[in-house]
A and B are shown apart, each in its own frame.
Chain A
Amino acid sequence: MVENDSVTEKKPRIRPIVRLGFFLISHSNYVSLLCFLSGIVALLLLPILANNTYISENALMPGSANSMLSTQHVSHANKFINDLTHSDIESHKTVAQYMSALDAEVTYHKFYPQLNQFHPLHFFTSSDSGIISKNISCSSLGINVAGIIRAPRGDGKEAIVLVTPYNPKKVGPGEALSLGIAYSVFSLLSRVTWLAKDVIWLVADSQYGEYSAVSAWLREYQAPVFHEAEIVNSETCNDSIAISELGQNPYSDRNSYGGFRRAGTMAAALVIKVDEQGNHHEDSLNIYPEASNGQMPNLDLINIVNYLGVHKTGFRIKVKKMFSLLGSRWLNTLGGIFESLGQIARSLNPQWKFGISATEYVEGAATLASSMYSQGLGVPTGSHGAFRDYQVDAITLKISPKDSPTKMIRRNDFILRGGRLIEGVIRSINNLLEKFHQSFFLYLLSSSSKYVSVGVYMIPFALLVAPLPIVAASLHADASKSTLQSTYSSEVEVSHKSWKWLNSARKVLVIHLWGAVVSLLPYFLYQIPNSTPTTNFTVWGILSAFSLIILYFILGSPIFEAAPSQPEKGEWASLKSVTISTAFIGLSLMSVINFATAEIGALLIVPICLMARPLKLDAQARSWRALLRATCNLALGFIAFPPVAYFLVKGAFEDFNGTNVGDYWNWVESLWTWNSATYLYVGIVHLPCWALCIHILFHPC
């Protein structure tokens, strides 16, 4: 204590780290500008900073064994395809027959397509069982067929899943081909001795969407529900379809069993699809890894496919990219600049090898943008997304043949190559001793063989949001300093200088509550029958404004006024500091849940949060700088308005054709149907922060 007293008497001795903090806070304008710009530069540098992928798990050993898939299997598969496309009996029976002919255990899984539901908090609650609506007729019943090969060397505790979605009503040539590839691999696997994990081949009924079929099967597999209503329902339907068909089945003696069959926990899942259109330069393989909320499968799974595709079977591996960016001039110029910079660096020191060619940069940037966009949407890019909800790593492999599947000459060759790839991948996964855990879960792909890991892509984000706490601290310090002076002049008044922010915090809290109300409103709007997206959107907007007004009145009422406070001089500053802190908390939180959303959201919301300043002050200042700032503020405020931001982002990432406010409603609807956390982010973080920034802009200071 003696020491403390002496400190107050003398000039306070400050530790370097505190001094650094003071320095940052006092120069917050420059620091935030610097951080923000360097954040954008770092974001643009990401394609250069991408690393080459490598197989991290030793046990996988891809391509170490020779492929065992022979032309014999392929010819069987050909026969299967012909039967499937030309036979009269229902296609799922054909599939079941062929499966049980391979000594696989066959089960039918009947399911009802799930209706769109509003689960705003689904992300936090653990996987629950879907609610099955009662009034669905038996005609809308979907039937999945699952065949299970028991591993001769395994203990039945682990499984690998192959999924081939197909439409039983109309089996397309591409679907038939994908079934054929799966069948060829399946027929091989039923005879091999090295299999240590059970193999499940799920032929998913995709007439109501492949995702719902796969997720229904997975739900039954992982978390069965025992509803009485459901049993009754399925029994009534059983009479018409299932029982009769099982009775007719000649193979039903041993392997067909009415109940649901399971194998062990799933190690990995592959969804196999074949593109219906041909006309590609060469056979290529598209990988779709993104599951819901930007979750990715373990990078090792993509690595195996990439390795085997490139080195063993000669497919060209592709990852989705944004074609609109490929032609963009500014990106090409930027690529050129980076290339020349890299060359200069190399001429200075040959050890520095960070330059990549301009075309490579543009390709990488387009892929990265696509990867970020589909992660940020939080909507899975295929039926593999259903597996990720149960912590199973899964990807969709979409094989695009050179010629169209209908007039394919080298069909056998195509099946052989596809089958060998799948066989290799399964053999690698079969070697796995534990779950996939070695490689990354959090990454962005910049090509099929390059990735940006979490440690790298967090840097631009951290730089983008770093100004927020600094500016908040400086505003907070200024606000408390100004009140300090005012309260010392009148000593009678109780000085709560340290707690002045409470008033602003209350306002911010109320606005965030409003955000929560707005994001819950669609639940009620969804009940209105026969409404177009445009009217829905309009009603939503009106109701939101209405609720804002109601909350404003509650806020203004004397109950909420803890202390009678006249509008003070520095009030907007403290309000802004609280707003910025909540934006910072929200963005950091979102970066943990779904990085890509947070990154895109930070690009949109951070500038307005940093710039916001009452227009009245700028108007009073009457200088060019103030005027410029006011215009910037207005423009940024307009950009950050969620529907405008949506159209901008969509225009930047997708083709921009026609603007219709109904689009926004459709987009929002798709977000909540897929339980995307992006929806919550927009409603509870982005919208309130934007509203508060606008409030600050028009603040009567």
Chain B
Amino acid sequence: MSTKTETPVKKKNQKKIQCFWSWVIGSVILRLIIIYFPKNLNLSSRPEVSTPLTSIRRLAEGYWLKQSSMSPYAGSMYHGSPLLLTLLGPLTVKRIEGQPDHLLCSLVFVIADVVTAMLICAAGKKLQAAYSSSLQSIGLHHLSEDSDILPSGDFAALLYLWNPFTIVACVGLSTSAIENLMVVVTLYGACARLAPLAAFGWVMATHLSLYPAILIIPVILLFGYGPDAPPRKLFRQRTNLEVDDSASGDRSCLEDELVNEKRMLNVFSWRPVVLFLFWALLWSSYVLVLCGIYVQQHSGLQEMFKSTYGFILTIQDLSPNIGVFWYFFAEVFDFFRSFFLIVFHGNILLMILPLALRLNHRPCFLAFVYIVLSSMLKSYPSVGDSALYLGLLGLFAYELKDMQFSFFLFSGYVGVSLLSPVMHNLWIWRGTGNANFYFATAIGYACLQIILVVESVSAMLNHDRMITKLTTAKLQNVKS
């Protein structure tokens, strides 16, 4: 490691950080500007932005029902969490003279976005530090320098903040900003090994939108094995070699590294996992108690589960969205419905185990893959979900630098996101198109997500292969 290369790297990082804050402020200003033109855009009624679960109008309706001492779930309008009602409900009612409606709500969402970005940034820094130290410990010093050049945490945070999908979801007053925040809290907590925080994030995210429940696997892996690292067998080879070496030579100089590797190799540390599970239990019972108090007067928790999780799982609302379920379940016969419900939801569960086995040394990336899969196969997807995984994609900028079809994916995302409102207009407003037009863009969108997940996973595996090749070459050099 020469000092010559270190200084420009540092400089670059500092320069990047200076720009970073101005970019963050710029994104906030952009959001505020767009919030002041809500009438022309009318984003909160677009099917791409607000789903039955995340729409602020439904939330306001639920709050109104609650205020007039009815169950917030009466009339199948609201399907979110009661906690969101207490948090955002009063803000939907409050109007400031001369300001756009829902100004306070939008400010909450803007803050949620910024906090999410900060947490992504912090998690990225932790990941990067861990990754470069693990690269060094298997002796790939030049790679670890390379990985330092691109501050992937900052990059991912800016990607999240400036992603048009995030901006649209935030300005369109979709509560997915808060769901995303909770998911990112989980990941950050797990990366920083803060069991209470991670458990809180996981419980809240699951409570809000059910699908993040599958993130428990990556979180447990994160607590058990530590953050993303090259395949574990490389460490084993390396230690074997070094043990051989140290048996013959002096051991003092390698001691530090060895200790470090021992930590890496510590097969699976159960203690933080148990701690996490304990906290998860605690938080979930706490959330349940709070919800129970809130819906106490109206038929209790059972109704809440029925109209939140039940609504998600049985796909009762078939209004068009960017997913693929509504079209299918509008066509399917009633007596096949439950069968296909099981099949469609099984799709996500089917892929959990193989992916967990293959990517268990990279739990954060595994979480990313799970999030892409669930946002593709969830019953009411919106662009807010894509905003989350596209932001997280930035965390793996170094590992995925050789990803194929990146340009194709980019053009595809641009094309589909422009085509989708046009097709919707053609179908709903002009009447010259039909549901197939809109569904075609939904299929195109799903295909793009499939390509994204396939390509990113294969790029990651190629990266692993490259590392394996390099280390084995090095080991052979050392041996010979």
**Interface of A with B (CB < 8 Å)?**
1, 5, 121, 123-127, 295-296, 388, 391, 435, 441-442, 473, 476, 491-492, 494-499, 501, 505, 559, 577-578, 581-582, 585, 588-589, 592-593
Contacts and interface: CB of A to CB of B under 8 A. Distances in A.
Closest 7 CB pairs of A and B: A441-B432, A391-B431, A585-B415, A501-B407, A581-B411, A498-B406, A496-B401
Contacts of B146: 494
Contacts of A581: 407, 411
A589 B404 contact: no
B111 interface: no
A592 B419 contact: yes
Contact of A442 (B142, B411, B432): B432
A473 B412 CA distance: 13
Nearest to A505: B410
A641 B108 CA distance: 46
B478 interface: no
A589 B432 contact: no
A498 B403 contact: yes
B422 A593 contact: yes
Nearest to A585: B415
Contacts of B432: 295-296, 441-442
Contacts of B437: 592
B402 A498 contact: yes
A498 B419 CA distance: 26
A589 B419 contact: yes
Interface string B53-82: 000000000000000000000000000000
Interface in B412-459: 414-415, 418-419, 421-423, 425-426, 429-432, 437
A421 B423 CA distance: 37
A495 B430 contact: no
B166 to A, nearest CB: 17
A285 B425 CA distance: 33
A89 B480 CA distance: 114
B40 interface: yes
B401 A592 contact: no
Contact of B421 (A124, A492, A496): A124
Given A125-B42, A501-B406, A593-B422, A492 B142 contact: yes
Contacts of A497: 401-402
Contacts of B343: none
B87 interface: no
28 contacts: A5-B465, A121-B40, A124-B425, A125-B40, A391-B430, A435-B431, A441-B431, A442-B432, A476-B407, A494-B401, A498-B402, A498-B406, A499-B401, A501-B407, A559-B19, A581-B407, A582-B411, A582-B414, A585-B414, A585-B415, A585-B418, A588-B415, A589-B415, A589-B418, A589-B419, A592-B419, A592-B437, A593-B422
Nearest to B145: A492
B408 to A, nearest CB: 8
Interface string B185-214: 000000000000000000000000000000
B140 to A, nearest CB: 13
Contacts of B142: 491-492
Contacts of A476: 407
Given A476-B407, A581-B411, A589-B419, A495 B425 contact: no
B149 interface: yes
Contacts of A1: 461
Contact of A498 (B42, B150, B404): B404
A473 B406 CA distance: 12
Interface residues of B, number: 33
B58 to A, nearest CB: 20
Given A559-B19, A588-B415, 11 more contacts: A125-B41, A125-B42, A491-B142, A501-B407, A501-B410, A578-B407, A581-B407, A589-B419, A592-B423, A592-B426, A593-B422
B60 to A, nearest CB: 21
Nearest to B461: A1
A481 B401 CA distance: 15
A441 B427 CA distance: 12
Contacts of A492: 142
Interface in B376-412: 401-404, 406-408, 410-411
Contacts of B407: 476, 501, 505, 577-578, 581
Given A589-B422, A592-B422, A494 B150 contact: yes
Contacts of B429: 126-127, 391
A496 B418 CA distance: 28
Contact of A295 (B408, B414, B430): B430
Contacts of A388: 430
A5 B461 CA distance: 11
A126 B419 CA distance: 17
Contacts of A126: 42, 429
A623 to B, nearest CB: 32
B440 to A, nearest CB: 10
A495 B150 CA distance: 11
A505 B409 CA distance: 13
Contacts of B402: 495, 497-498
Contacts of A435: 431
Contacts of A123: 425
Contacts of B19: 559
A492 B401 CA distance: 15
A298 to B, nearest CB: 9
Nearest to B402: A498
Interface string B335-373: 000000000000000000000000000000000000000
A202 B146 CA distance: 75
A498 B463 CA distance: 14
A121 B37 CA distance: 13
B124 to A, nearest CB: 17
A444 B149 CA distance: 57
Contact of B401 (A498, A559, A585): A498
Contacts of B461: 1
A5 B465 CA distance: 9
Contacts of A585: 411, 414-415, 418
Contacts of B411: 581-582, 585
Contacts of B415: 585, 588-589
B456 to A, nearest CB: 11
B149 A494 contact: yes
Interface string B452-480: 00000000010001000000000000000
Nearest to B432: A441
Nearest to A436: B431
A1 B457 CA distance: 12
A564 B190 CA distance: 36
Contacts of A496: 401
B360 to A, nearest CB: 14
Contacts of B150: 494
A442 B437 CA distance: 13
Nearest to A560: B19
